[in-house]
Amino acid sequence: MSRGQRTSARLLVPFLVTAAAASAAWAAWLGGDDQYDVRPDGSATGPYEAWQVAGLVLTLLVPVCWAAARRHPAGAVLGTTAGLTAAAFADWSDDSSGLFAVGVGMVALGSLAASAAVAAVVRAVTAAVRRHGRGTTA
């Protein structure tokens, strides 16, 4: 394997890991829930509960932080966004109204913004720790 191929593979692995983790986390936390809850007043909520979404978000912190701490913030952000967007599309695409596309777009934008924010914080912290470890201060 040439040096260029090793570099490409090294850049691709964080993307693939975070994309797979995001899709698997979606399936684990949200994938099996498609029942709406009907309240006594007749209004419906769901299908997801707040704790399910919180669990998904907390689970995704691990792969995003892992990739960003290893100097692959783009892989962390793009992989997580791609994995969640693909999972949402697969889960919701049977909606005959076509409104699922709006939801999928919101998942894409939200996951892009949130994973970018987390990756930026992780990169800043790891850079500060590395600087501090070398005896220099900012």
> So what's the pLDDT on residue 136?
56
Q: What is the mean pLDDT of each run of 10 residues along the chain (138 residues)?
A: 71 93 97 82 85 96 96 95 97 89 96 98 93 68
Name the residue ranges covered by the structural domains of the chain.
3-133
**pTM for this predicted structure:** 0.85
Question: Residue 4's pLDDT is what?
Answer: 67
Residues in the chain: 138
Q: Is the peptide bond before 14 cis (omega within 30 degrees of 0)?
A: no
Residue 29: other Cβ atoms inside 10 A: 21
Residue from 72, 63, 97 nearest 7 by CA: 72
H-helix segments, the chain? 3-29, 50-69, 73-92, 100-133
Look at residue 96 in the predicted model and tell me its pLDDT.
85
Strand partners, 138: none
Distance CA 17, CA 41 (A): 44
Per-residue pLDDT, 56: 97
Predicted local confidence at residue 33, as pLDDT: 75
